[in-house]
Amino acid sequence: MITNTLQVQNNDTEIQGIQLTELVKEYGSPLYVYDAESIESQYKKLIGAFHNTNIRIKYATKALSNISVLKYMKKIGIGLDVVSIEELKIGIKAGYDAKEIMYTPSCVDFQEIEEVIALGATLNIDSIPFVEKFGKTYGGTIPLCIRINPHVEAGGNHKIKTGHIESKFGISIDQLDQVYDLVNKFGIDMAGIHVHTGSDFGDIDVFLKVAEVMYGVAMNFKNLKFLDFGSGFKVSYKQGDKETNIEELGSKMSVSFANFCQKYGKKLDLWFEPGKYLVSKSGYLLATATVIKQTPATTFIGLNTGLNHLIRPMMYESYHEIVNISNPDGEKKKYSVVGYICETDTFAWEREMNETKEGDIIVFKNAGAYGFSMSSNYNSRIRPAEVLVHKGKAILIRKRETLDDILKNQIEVNF
């Protein structure tokens, strides 16, 4: 096990004083590495920004769902938001009481909802047919949350906008009369209302505008316990990116929420469900340069990883800082960084980087959220190991896969 005894700040080449190149020596590459301290400090910054507010953070498990990361979240006081029964079961296995877990599915079988209710998670429903099924089956015996679609367009990329009128998510604010009728008809116990407008928008005015919509809806339900505002916090992927100003958001929302609670006549809990905000910058993907390939168009750095391990650049045209940590003082040159997958998998085009040669260790920053959790075995490639750095110690939290993992559910037929 690699341990650091010094108190050292993180930079591109180390986490809590542990050299990233040492981690590659010990665990190989490609490798995902997460910094537990970064998660905790993001959490503290977030809750510290709200005043006189019962704020509860439900981490969006889908961003990074390793069971040890969930256990760490639990240890530092963070609840969970899950989107599948599998995530729920991992959360419970990580030690969570199901009651601390918000389950926000989309288009699942109603049978899954019944199983989730049996496990005891907080249920968030986002369609009218399911509110009706729920009412018929459970009446007022189980508390319910519903997801609202506020018809607000926000998000870092079209694929991650969820609150606009064409989105499959939520119950449209124009269709809520049907919900009010069903709630009255079946005596449904409405515990909360939820909204998640999109990922990576950051604009405080959007949060405040959506909050006003939520306050209006909330007045139609008498016994709410919480309002869940989802997420959308923007993190900085590159220099100059405007992050969500958490302090400003916290102080403005604390006031608007307090005003609402006064009108409502009761102090409710205010929930958020950040994924990226908590884990994006905690994570690094470390890879090795396999080839430097000069072509008439560019100089490629080929890597021993690809879109199978980090799909965000190809899926959302997202930007990740890429650093050659083997040659920190190297001369700056332009490279195009690509993966080993047999289709175009470009991580960066004509990016300025330190001079790179075969065998150098290349680091992708901000890879904690939707990195490993969106990885696959495309091209029958195995997935990387994962390491968590906690209190100056590197802890292996997932073994590197082997070919056996790829073959284990395949059934060989001999013809």
Task: Please identify which of the residues 107, 145, 261, 342 carries the catalytic annotation.
Answer: 342
In the complex, minimum distance from the CB of residue 195 to ligand LLP, in angstroms, rounded to a whole number: 9
> How near is the Cβ of 283 to ligand LLP at its closest, in Å?
12
**Least separation, in Å, of the C-beta of 67 and ligand LLP?**
19
- Candidates 7-15, 184-192, 256-264, 272-280; binding stretch for ligand LLP (CB under 6 A): 272-280
Q: Could you tell me if 393 and 3 are in contact, meaning their C-beta atoms sit under 8 angstroms apart? A: yes
Q: Which of 281, 279, 276, 315 is nearest to 158 (CA)?
A: 315
User: Which residue, 279, 285, 323, 322, is CA-closest to 305?
Assistant: 285
Nearer to ligand LLP, 368 or 384 (CB): 368
Interacting residue with ligand LLP among 87, 273, 345, 360 (CB under 6 A): 273
**Contacting ligand LLP (CB under 6 A), which of 233, 260, 300, 340?**
233
With CB under 6 A as the rule, give the number of residues binding ligand LLP.
21
Residue 43, token pair as written in the block: 């959490």
* Strand partners for 346: 338
Minimum distance of ligand LLP from residue 280's CB (angstroms):
8
SS3 content of the chain, % helix, strand, coil (to 5): 35, 25, 40
Stretch that binds ligand LLP, among 219-227, 271-279, 289-297, 381-389 (CB under 6 A): 271-279
Hunting for tokens 């403005």 — which residue is that? Answer: 252
State the minimum distance, in angstroms, from the CB of residue 175 to ligand LLP. Answer: 19
**Which residue in the block uniquely carries the two structure tokens 């407008």?**
197
Could you give the C-alpha distances from 379 to 4, 30, 293, in angstroms and in order? 37, 15, 22
- Give the binding range for ligand LLP (CB under 6 A) out of 137-145, 230-238, 383-391, 397-405: 230-238
Residue 342 annotated among the catalytic residues of the structure = yes
Q: Does residue 217 contact residue 298 with C-beta atoms inside 8 Å?
A: no
Is omega for the bond preceding 384 within 30 degrees of 0, making it cis?
A: no
- Taking the least distance from each CB to ligand LLP, the nearer of 163 and 302 is 163
Residues 192-211 touching ligand LLP, rule: CB under 6 A, are 196, 199-200
Counting contacts by CB under 6 A, is residue 63 touching ligand LLP?
A: yes
Residue among 30 and 368 whose Cβ is closer to ligand LLP: 368
- Choose the binding region for ligand LLP from 224-232, 258-266, 319-327, 400-408 (rule: CB under 6 A): 224-232
Indicate the residue whose CB is closest to ligand LLP: 275
Is the CB of 53 or the CB of 199 nearer to ligand LLP? 199
- CA nearest neighbour of 382 among 397, 398, 368: 398
Is residue 303 a contact partner of residue 57, using CB atoms and an 8 Å limit? no
- Intra-chain end-to-end CA distance of the chain, in Å: 47
User: Is 309 among the residues that bind ligand LLP (CB under 6 A)?
Assistant: no
CB 24 within 8 A of CB 31: yes
Q: Which stretch binds ligand LLP (CB under 6 A): 229-237, 247-255, 262-270, 335-343?
A: 229-237
Nearest to 167 by CA among 185, 177, 176, 154: 154
| Nearer residue to ligand LLP within complex by CB, 204 or 292 | 204
Residue whose CB is less far from ligand LLP, 63 or 85: 63
> Closest by alpha carbon to 290, among 346, 351, 361?
361
313-332: which residues touch ligand LLP (CB under 6 A)? 316
Q: Which of residues 95-114 bind ligand LLP (CB under 6 A)?
A: 104
d(CA 44, CA 405): 38
Q: Is 87 in the site for ligand LLP (CB under 6 A)?
A: no
| Strands in 257-407 per DSSP E | 269-272, 283-294, 299-303, 322-324, 332-338, 346-354, 361-364, 385-390, 393-398
Where in 349-388 is the site for ligand LLP (CB under 6 A)?
A: 369-370
Q: Which residues bind ligand LLP (CB under 6 A)?
A: 60, 63, 81, 104, 160, 196, 199-200, 230-233, 273-277, 312, 316, 369-370
Residues labelled as active-site residues: 342
